[in-house]
Amino acid sequence: MVELKTEESINAMRAPGRVVARALAAARQAAAVGASLLDLDRAARAVLAEAGASSPFLGYRPHFAPVPFPGVVCASVNDAIVHGIPDGYRLRDGDLVSIDCGAELGGWVGDAAVSFTVGRPRPADLRLIETAEAALAAGIAAARPGNRIGDIAHAIGTVCRSAGYGIMEDFGGHGVGRSMHEDPGVPNEGRPGRGMQLRPGMVLAIEPMLIAGGTDEYRCDGDGWTLRTLDGSRAAHVEHTVAITADGPRILTAL
């Protein structure tokens, strides 16, 4: 069931959204060559603690997971697409990093992700990230009353496929509100004019996940969490929590 949020609720969701934005900025600032993924997680934890927010990631254990998630961020490096566990891996010159973070504050959740390079970037990585951001922008632009879920999916998929990138199978965005994962699902590829109609008050986490090699296939690490490209190519993941309003889409996880 899809919960339509009131204007008051959407305004309240802006608070955890700002916390997420600050936590992502702190993790990115900490991501220097030689820093560990645990350093990035600690930077995000400090932001959440200062804001009095909790993490919907920490301790999360869906049906497929062998253990609860141990961090407040997902830290995915190079060929890791999503759900990377922050550990002692130390960042190297040229690494491509995707950080996903959530915050719960006042009974509401915000969820966002960013991808960036560390040290000297590879031009191919910059193109991949720029395309992911363009796909996210296209998806957000389609998040308007009267459109349908398929319009968001089509907008994202068109940008990704036109650039020759793969789109992760079986994964996409979702509703967000009182919990991190709510209805409806938001695919990253689809047919325009299909699916649930978008209405004011819907709040969606829109999150393109791109695979540089052009394949859509992935594999899961032995940790039961980290999802990697099957062909070993690099990946990028970006995300915003977006409210659909009568005046158009409103990004709740921007700084």
0.85 exceeded by the pTM?
A: yes
Tokens representing 79 are 């060929």
pLDDT at site 145: 98
Tokens 């909790």 identify what position? 54
Q: Averaged over 32-47, what is the pLDDT?
A: 98
CA atoms within a 13 Å half-sphere pointing along the CA-CB vector of 177? 20
Residue 44 is which amino acid? A
pLDDT at site 139: 98
Phi, psi of 26 (to 5 degrees): -70, -40
pLDDT at site 169: 84
pLDDT at site 64: 87
pLDDT at site 223: 96
Is residue 231 within 8 A of residue 198, CB to CB? The reply is no
Tokens 């020759």 identify what position? 164
pLDDT band at 55 (very low <50, low <70, confident <90, very high): very high
Tokens representing 160 are 């990704």
Q: Mean pLDDT over all residues of the chain? A: 97
pLDDT digits (tens, 9 = 90+) for 204-230: 999 999 999 999 999 999 999 999 999
Whether residue 107 has pLDDT greater than 90: yes
pLDDT at site 172: 97
pLDDT at site 59: 97
Phi, psi of 37 (to 5 degrees): -65, -30
Tokens 């193109």 identify what position? 127
pLDDT at site 25: 98
pLDDT at site 116: 98
Could you give the 3-state DSSP secondary structure of residue 248?
strand
pLDDT at site 77: 98
pLDDT at site 9: 98
**3-state class percentages of the chain: helix first, strand second, coil last, to nearest 5:** 30, 25, 45
pLDDT digits (tens, 9 = 90+) for 58-100: 999 999 899 999 999 999 999 999 999 999 999 999 999 999 9
pLDDT digits (tens, 9 = 90+) for 20-35: 999 999 999 999 999 9
Percent of the chain with pLDDT over 70: 100
pLDDT at site 186: 98
pLDDT digits (tens, 9 = 90+) for 153-194: 999 999 999 999 999 988 999 999 999 999 999 999 999 999
Cis previous bond, 184, omega within 30: yes
Instruction: Name the DSSP class of 170.
Output: T
List, in order, residues 6 or more apart from 11 with CB less than 8 Å away. Answer: none
Is residue 179 within 8 A of residue 217, CB to CB? The reply is no
Angle, CA 200 vertex, CA 198 and CA 204 arms, to 5°: 65
List C-alpha distances in Å: 83 to 52, 174, 208: 24, 16, 14
